[in-house]
Structure 1
Amino acid sequence: MGFRDRISGKGTGRDDTAHKPSTKSFLGQGGIPNAKKPKTRPPTSIRDQPWFLHASLPTYSGPYTVGVMAIEVPAENPRVISEITREGHHILRLETVLMNIYYPAAHGAGSGKSPSGKHRWSRETWLPRPRLESAKGYGKFAGAKWAMVPFFFATTMFTKIPAFRNAGIAEHWPPGGNVDTRGTRVKQEEGEVPEGEEDPPVFPLMVFCHGLGGTRTVYSSVCGEFASYGFVVCAIEHRDGSGPRTIVLHEEEGEGSVEHLERNGVDHHPRQRRRGWDKVDYIYSKYNPDDTAPTSEQGIDKELRHAQLQLRLAEIEEAYNVLAKICNGQGQEVANKNLRRKGYTGASSNGLQGIDWTLWKHRFHLDQATILGHSFGAATAISVLRHPARFPQIAQGVTYDIWSGPVHPSEPNPAHKIRSPLLGINSEAFMYWPSNFHTATALAAEARAQEAPAWLLTLRGTVHLSQSDFSLLYPTLTAGVMRATADPQRAMDLNINATLEFLGKVSPVTRALIARGASDERILDVEPLEVVPDIHRPDDRHLGFALKVPHVYRHRVAPGTARRWKRMRRRWGRERDAEVGESEVWMHVRSEVEEVERFLKENMGHGRGMERGKDENEDVMSGSGVSTPG
């Protein structure tokens, strides 16, 4: 019997009972953190087969098929964000906003003719186009330059995201269950409209922010999973020099052209004017290139990270404006301005062809949205939550492996304290990084002090990449180099399921969809630990990167074999079930049911659900809790 069966009581013939682990029990356990198969995700085409020469991504486990569209439009308020320059030109500029929107797709997506009229449905490549430029960007980010290009081409050149481009938005409520409980047929069925809900459903909104080295596709599994459970997910590609390489497009003339931007004070290098597009590579600190490392004695480059956060928040505002237009029936206006169309560098020839924008009107909630981010994206999410006056539409936040460098652990200004529900999920590798864990704990405490529910937990056997597509595309590398022992797909399941449980508790607009399709593993009910474990803490030079795992063959070279052996021993009755809290999840901070009920009772019907700041035009970094230049 696995973790999910044990905490739900399925198949046990007995009541569900959770046991509080003793300090002795988890410190003495060095075994595999989970022995359960992940959700079934059948392949969908030849390129998705395990034997195909390139890496593939698993299909999504929710009851909806997933659609995706790529949008890049000129910013409504283009400007230079910071005075930081390279080669005499400003490098942090707001010119356009680029995003992927993942969403629940209508029945029939993937079969018959595509929205563009072609017989074959289009799917976006995981390595963003132009793929050579993206591979070169990753090579530069990794410090290997051209040496990394053959690696990415050999492994992910043909990898595609398992979401259908420009599919129609779903107009049905899903049946009960998901792929894990009912198989893939669940995606072809529809259920009855829940009592008191709208038909067709109005979906909740989620905004996702990537971390350092990320793009709008690197977290496609996270975003696609939430879309498969009924969320409209806006994954922003930040142009702040935190990604490996991103292409910024310009109109040939008029609004969005280089000439128009320069009239607004946005300067450009001569080569940008010649080719009509720009590339933004990862920006290293001029004075401390290793400012993100745990062992960096100088700490982070506060000026650079501060400016990057300013640009990120501005991009979130611009992205929300685009979403508002789509939701308010102005989708065609967005499509007319979209630069990701035929004839533009890095764009698909499909553009936004075939989308019926009338079906998008009033189809997702513009308020009560969730902000979710990984690493630097998690720090961005905290900055958003600390500015409710600027982002009143954001009602709760989720952080995956927060990078503490740009975030103050506690906010002294009462107007900027976190007053929203907060969920923090650590990888085990990041939990051992003291400053990060201290910040994550302090943020949860800050929210609870303002009477907002908060949880903080760690997923055992996981590393920083376990919350991105990299662990799914390169599982052997993740296990062999970073010594991750958790199954990559099971680690993804735990991140998604814990987040869905959190949203089901604190967000009324998500409850009906989550109750209809999600697996309730009661992850957030795990008992908090009395002390922080350190059984897999690496030495300082591997801090935050890898785990220190004994029994190299069993736990590092062949973790899959070890899991199968452990499951067999349980089936034979020769090994006891691990207790909740010591098998897959370590809980550090947990709000009780009474706290959640009190918060909802006091804040229901008040929009965001908290007291907004009074000055809508306040400086975003004033008292924000974000590290500012000294």
Structure 2
Amino acid sequence: MHILGALQSDGKTEDVPNAKKPKVRPPRSWRDAPWLPVRSLPTYTGPYPVGTMEIEVPVEHPRVFSHIKRNGKHLLQLETVLMTIYYPASHDEKNDSAAHKEKLSRELWLGRPRIGVAQGYGKFAGLGNFIVPLFLPTLFTKLPAYRNAPLARHWAPEVDTKDEGVKVKTREGHKPEGAATDEPRFPLIMFSHGLGGTRTMYSSVCGEFASYGFVVCAVEHRDGSGPRSYINHTKEPAVDAEGTVTERQRNGQVDITPNEQRREYEIMDYVFPKDNPYDTSPGSDKGVDTELRGAQVELRLAEIDESYQVMRKLANGEGEAVAEKNLRKKGYKASSSRGLEGVDWARWKDRFHLNDVTACGHSFGAATVIEILRHDDRFNYVGQGIIYDIWGAGTKPPEEESLEHRIHAPLLAINSEAFTYWPSNFELVSSLIDEAQNGPNESPSWLLTLRGTIHVSQSDFSLLYPNVCSLFLKMIANPQRALDLNINASLEFLSHVLPAEVAQVNRAYKNEGVLEQDPSPLERIPSAQLLKPDEKYTAMRLKIKHESLFRLSPSLYKKLWLQKHSPNSDGKMRADDEVWVHTKPTPESIRKHLENNKGRSNIKKSTIDGALPMTATSAEQKNAEPVHMSDTPQGNSAAGDNNLGK
């Protein structure tokens, strides 16, 4: 099949042989119609509509990171922070925004300027401008969310679109028993993208979280890890910032060329290590450029912290001050003319939690999350972490001289099957789970693999280009079902570890019990079930056995697969048909975590003194009963508020 034809196909791929169907995602408008050549993103399945805001503001303390230079200029520096905020929106947009309903728009997935960003991807992929035509189907793709829509004030009903269809997004639910406020306060997630990513590359993950009642701040890193990002200059001294660009350069805070000063913006493209441009490859002889990657992590941490300060201002009622400094508006590069027009900032005051924040990231973003979790002294507002397909080689080792800088919070690690076959990477992520469970806080943690998935299965790429992923990267999981599993496992994790008063806003997802199934240690999985590729393709793609039959007749392939691997099967799913759970905590460790953090969502978590390690061996885990929230110290409150076990 011609590759452009694959990009413009109907988006269907075959499932893992014995997999559940993905959730219902009915089209929202004509733009989502399958017959259009433009690729569309699936709508979100939670009970809330979703809104987005695009914000770029100058940082309070601009500075240079590392001595590394390119073309005589410091490579890594912090001037502004750029983010897209995904959030639960009002269910009655027509009434709430009647004055400017026609002005509500949807943010572009690729970003502005679209050709420029596509060229950045070409540079990142090593294909130059030849790749630009491959982005034609997504040049007009927009997020299935309203820009600057009013923040939701209502408690959502306890059902999702699978049960009620899109009409659930127009309904209100009842206030949960014991809720302190009439209007919900939403949990906050800080999201960090991977190499080649942007703030919108993971819009489906971020938007799904928002549709279930979370505010998600997706940061765009300007550390040379994204394909292309545009950094605007302030045109006048900004409030709380240290002068104009000229003044900051004169003071040695930033390093800007005369050309960049004249055009009033900078372009940050993907940065390749000088002597080993493809240091991310598992087969790289020279290994990872630790100097560059370490400096990038430090810049990423600063961007996360600066972005959190912006979120804190929104929650403290200072939204108008943030809007005044916003550089993503008419007259600035890569901006929508709408800016933050029409946002009701009064709605944002005290409407989301600033503590018990979840740090979440993919690939290099997951490595960033680990560094956050190791520094409770700096990121004491973070309560837990979710890492998707962590790039272990980009993860900084723990500080040997400091026992304090260890993972201090619960951790959920979700691997793609392709990354699970990367031995050193799997060993690294396993060690991180051990570090969390044996650390000073004895934090309950999970490690699992989603079968039939590849590295981009946790981004929008597999949703927009499913047949490319299937034909060339050998993904066999349905991309929407893979998204469901990532989100459902993540929501299940958060329902276990968040304090009840924070978790109660998410009552709609149907718990599949993904984290409760018996462990499947990797070394015990029958080789016939593995899609392990040849060594040269490690972490890059899978290997489909009898692929010709798989392509010719997926239904026959499924039938023969079930006969071989489940001869006594009646066609019903087994627990490990879609997910392998490699490690999970004991019920006691979850109970202890909840008990020690119960009612403490507004203060820093303290270290548990004198506690013994709680990591369970595979045998102990096999004998342990599945952990249900009804068995925890939060009791029926957490279970009732989150619909667990239904």
User: Do both share a fold (TM > 0.5)?
Assistant: yes
- Equivalent position of 1:341 in the other structure: 329
TM-align CA RMSD: 2.2
Deviation at 1:558, TM superposition (A): 6.5
The offset of 1:115, in angstroms, is 7.6
Aligned to 1:144: 127
Work out which of the residue numbers 165, 168, 187 in structure 2 matches 1:183: 165
What stretches of structure 1 of length at least 5 have no aligned partner? 1-29, 568-572, 614-630
Question: Aligned to 1:415, what secondary structure does the other structure show?
Answer: coil
How do 1:301-450 residues align onto structure 2 when only pairs under 5 Å count? 301-408=289-396, 412=400, 413-450=402-439
Partner of 2:481: 490
Change (3 A) 1:562 1:170: farther
Which amino acid is 1:90 matched to?
Answer: H
TM-superposed CA distance for 1:186, in Å, is 0.9
**Letter aligned with residue 384 of structure 2:** Q
State the distance in 2 between where 1:409 and 1:270 align. 39
3-state SS of 1:323 partner: helix
Confirm whether residue 202 of structure 1 aligns to residue 185 of structure 2.
yes
2:262 to 255, 274, 292: 274
Q: Is the 8 A contact 2:421 2:538 kept in 1?
A: yes
Residue in structure 1 matched with residue 246 of structure 2 by the alignment: 259
- Contact 1:458/1:586 (<8 A) preserved: yes
Contact 2:15 2:477 in 1 (8 A): no
Identity %, equivalent residues:
52
State the secondary structure of the residue aligned to 1:586: strand
Q: CA deviation at 1:270?
A: 2.0
Q: 1:552 to 1:76 in 2, by over 3 A?
A: same
Matched ranges for 1:4-403 at <5 A: 32-109=16-93, 111=94, 117=100, 119-152=102-135, 154-197=136-179, 198-255=181-238, 257-265=244-252, 266-403=254-391
Q: Which residues of structure 2 form unaligned runs of 5+?
A: 1-13, 563-567, 610-646
Secondary structure at the counterpart of residue 289 of structure 1: coil
> Is the alpha carbon distance of 1:122 and 1:448 closer, same or farther for their aligned partners in structure 2, counting shifts above 3 Å?
same
* Contact 1:115–1:355 (CA under 8 A) maintained in structure 2: no
Which amino acid is the alignment partner of residue 34 of structure 2? Answer: P
SS at the partner of 2:387?
A: strand
Which residue identity lines up with residue 580 of structure 2 in the other structure?
Answer: W
Distance 1:435 1:284 in 2: 22
The answer to whether the Cα contact below 8 Å between 1:373 and 1:399 also exists between their aligned partners in 2 is: yes
Using the TM superposition, give the Cα deviation of residue 155 of structure 1 relative to its aligned residue in structure 2, in angstroms: 1.2
Q: TM-score, normalised on structure 1?
A: 0.88
Does structure 1 residue 466 correspond to structure 2 residue 448? no
Residues 1:264 and 1:210: Cα distance change in structure 2 (over 3 Å): farther
Please point out which of 466, 471, 488 is paired with 1:475. Answer: 466
Residue 507 of structure 1 is matched in structure 2 by 498
Distance 1:557 1:64, change over 3 A: farther
* CA drift at 1:280: 0.2
- Structure 2 CA distance for partners of 1:97 and 1:556, relative to 1, 3 Å: farther
User: Which whole-Å CA distance do the structure 1 matches of 2:455 and 2:552 have between them?
Assistant: 19
C-alpha separation in 2, matches of 1:222 and 1:165: 17
Amino acid at match of 2:414: I
Partner of 2:588: 594
Q: How many residues align?
A: 575
Q: 2:553, 2:235 → 1: CA distance? A: 54
Instruction: Give how far 1:411 is off.
Output: 5.5
Query: CA contact under 8 A between 1:214 and 1:243: conserved in structure 2?
Result: yes
| Letter of the structure 2 residue corresponding to residue 262 of structure 1 | Q
For residues 188 and 337 of structure 1, what CA distance do their matches in structure 2 show? Answer: 34
1:233 deviates by 0.1
Q: How far apart are 1:564 and its partner, in Å? A: 10
What CA deviation, in whole Å up to 9, does each residue of 1:113-166 have, x standing for no partner?
Answer: 9588252520001011011110110111111111011211x2101100001000
2:42 and 2:15 map into 1 onto residues whose CA distance is 26
Q: Distance in 2 between matches of 1:38 and 1:433?
A: 28
The answer (yes or no) to whether the contact 2:521–2:583 under 8 Å persists in 1 is no
1:574 Cα deviation after fit: 8.1
Q: Which stretch of structure 1 is more off in the superposition, 432-441 or 553-562? A: 553-562
User: Taking structure 2 as the reference length, what is the TM-score of the superposition?
Assistant: 0.86
How far is the alpha carbon of 1:529 from its aligned partner?
1.3
User: How big is each residue's C-alpha offset from its partner over 1:285-330, in whole Å with a ceiling of 9 and x where there is no partner?
Assistant: 0111011100001110010001000100000111011001000000
Structure 1 residues 507 and 31, CA gap change in structure 2 (3 angstroms): closer
The residue matched to 1:117 in structure 2 has which SS?
helix
SS of match in other structure, 1:456: strand
Three-state SS of the structure 2 residue aligned to 1:91 is: strand
Shift, 1:178, TM fit: 0.4
Distance across 1 between alignment mates of 2:495 and 2:555: 32
